[in-house]
Amino acid sequence: MGAAESRTIEQTVRIRARPETVWRYFTDPGRLARWWGEAEVDARPGGVLRVRMLDGPRPIMRGRFTELVPHERIAFTFGWEATPGAPDIPPGASRVEITLAADGDATVLTLRHSGLPFHLHDETGAGWAHLLRLLNAAAAS
């Protein structure tokens, strides 16, 4: 996919929880299920990340962790299993990078999702904005 054919999303949110807490909401299946969906998580480089979405037709996101720096950085490949209603991004076709930075008793989370097909940029950006709101509410409670 050439640069003209793919896009990157970048979103930043301040979460009312420490980085150690926010980290667990990406690496612990029970906590991940509170904001993203029912999850299979093997939080190590090469380990699987598989999430059945909570909303809509419940498509399944599948990827593999590529980098984990405790309480600071998480990176994984991202795509959708071929199911009705799933966006056309095959597993491994795009990449998500999460950085966590302490800000007092809170965390500044920056999400960068690269390698997206141009036509799915807006839909995926809106999806992440919604999910980050859910993450903020779950982690802050």
User: Which of 84, 67, 66, 71 shows the shortest CA–CA distance to 20?
Assistant: 71
Q: Which residues face 131 on adjacent strands?
A: none
pLDDT at 86: 85
Q: Please count the other Cβ atoms lying within 10 Å of the Cβ belonging to residue 58.
A: 13
Average pLDDT, consecutive stretches of 10 residues, N- to C-terminus, the chain (141 residues) = 72 97 97 95 97 81 97 97 87 96 97 94 93 96 88
Cα four-point dihedral sign 48, 63, 87, 100? positive
User: What are the Cα distances from residue 54, in Å, to 31, 94, 114?
Assistant: 13, 21, 23
Query: Cα separation of 107 and 76, whole Å?
Result: 20
